[in-house]
Amino acid sequence: MNHERSTMNNARLAFIRQRLVEHGAEAVLLGAAPDVRWAVGFTGSNALLAVTAEAAHFVTDGRYAGQARQEVSGAEVHVPGYDLHGHVAEAGLLGPARRVALPAEQVTLADMERLRDLYPGVEWVPVPGFLAEGRGSKEEWEIEAIRRAQALTEEVFDGLLSRIAPGVSERDLAAEIAYQHLRRGADRLAFDPIVASGRRSALPHGRASAKTIRPREFVVIDMGCMLDGYASDMTRTVAVGEPEVGMRRAYEAVLAAQEAGIAAVRAGAAGRDVDRAAREVLVEAGLGEYFSHGLGHGVGLEVHEFPRVSYHADHVLPENTVVTIEPGVYLPERFGVRIEDLVVARRDGPENLTRTPKVLLVL
């Protein structure tokens, strides 16, 4: 593992240095935990990583001294105390760099002012999606980690089915989802579970409420966890008792759209084309106006990350990226349906990491 990890980090640092060249920068300063983890393997939460053409310096606080020495590879470890930026500046860890890149999404205006004070003479270069392509293209061991997280979520879903019945509240089910994930070894939930029944299922992000489930309702359940640093994400819609004809028809349309979306996933496909493949099916079914969000998102060290699978997305799917495919329709004051799987964009097409069946379950 250590050897594998050090070669892996060399490739990742090489990717970072390539990005510097592309943006005419001489160094980059990374501080978001998933970025730092991806680059040098550190799993803690407070660190900075300064990478120049010649060197890589990792800086954390005293709580992480031991952990950093065990985990970090490819960078020199510094444990100066709590003022991490102060150390980077005083110890000159950016070398002679004058143009220093920053991941644009992670820096606030307040941060920029502070950085200008701390590092006089540095010209900061905000770069959108600095690590996006690198983190987006998964290695096989990362795909296996995501597969394990997804399998855990699916076990939780299997166990949950016997509890979904009239009279049970959404909140009961959400609590069960959280408990069962943690009991089975998840690091934590990836997000608060969505459990939305009846009319509330028409809310795409319906947080679990005190509402109890009634007969002939849909229940939309969207959940995921973090396991060994990687996320899972899955949505299923089940019926409690035989649903109305219109509900079943909508379910079948969403399922057909989802399958069309999955079939369009491959390395090099444009995010917007994958979205369109699914969306056309819903438009033909007369439900296009009720599909009110993008088709999916990347999943990895974060549950929402690059690439987006959306009609807005200009980019293409990197090889071996992992994305969700999650079309949904939301009929206000009536019901909603969403179905979500995790899919790898292989060179020759999709590989679905999700095993849970998608025929409409009537409980």
Binding site residues, Zn ion, CB under 5 A:
222, 233, 235, 324, 340
For Zn ion, which is the closer residue by CB, 259 or 340?
340
What is the sign, positive or negative, of the torsion defined by CA atoms of 149, 151, 157, 159? negative
Of 240 and 325, the one with the shorter C-beta distance to Zn ion is 325
Distance between the two ends of the chain, CA-based, in angstroms? Answer: 45
- Give the residue ranges of DSSP H helices in the chain: 2-22, 33-40, 65-71, 84-90, 109-118, 132-136, 140-161, 170-183, 245-263, 271-284
Least Å distance, CB 154 to Zn ion, is 13
Between residues 28 and 208, which has the closer beta carbon with respect to Zn ion? Answer: 208
Least gap, CB of 200 to Zn ion (angstroms): 16
Query: Rg of the chain over CA atoms, in angstroms?
Result: 23
CB of 297 to Zn ion, least distance (A): 6
- In whole angstroms, how far apart are CA 117 and each of 102, 112, 343? 16, 9, 45
Q: Contact at 8 Å (CB) between 233 and 299?
A: yes
Q: Which is nearer to Zn ion, 170 or 222 (CB)?
A: 222
Q: Which is nearer to Zn ion, 312 or 347 (CB)?
A: 312
Q: What's the min distance (Å) between Cβ of 322 and Zn ion?
A: 11
The residues pairing with 219 across neighbouring beta strands, listed in sequence order, are: 197, 238
For Zn ion, the closer CB: 52 or 235: 235
Q: How far apart are CA 327 and CA 204, in angstroms?
A: 11
Q: Contact 297/324 with Cβ under 8 angstroms?
A: yes
Q: How far apart are CA 121 and CA 150, in angstroms?
A: 47
| Shortest distance, position 250 Cβ to Zn ion, whole Å | 19
Cβ of residue 252: shortest distance to Zn ion, in angstroms?
21
Nearest-approach distance from CB 296 to Zn ion, in angstroms: 7
Nearest to Zn ion of 235, 237 (CB atom): 235
Please give the Cα distance from 326 to 266 (Å, whole number): 16
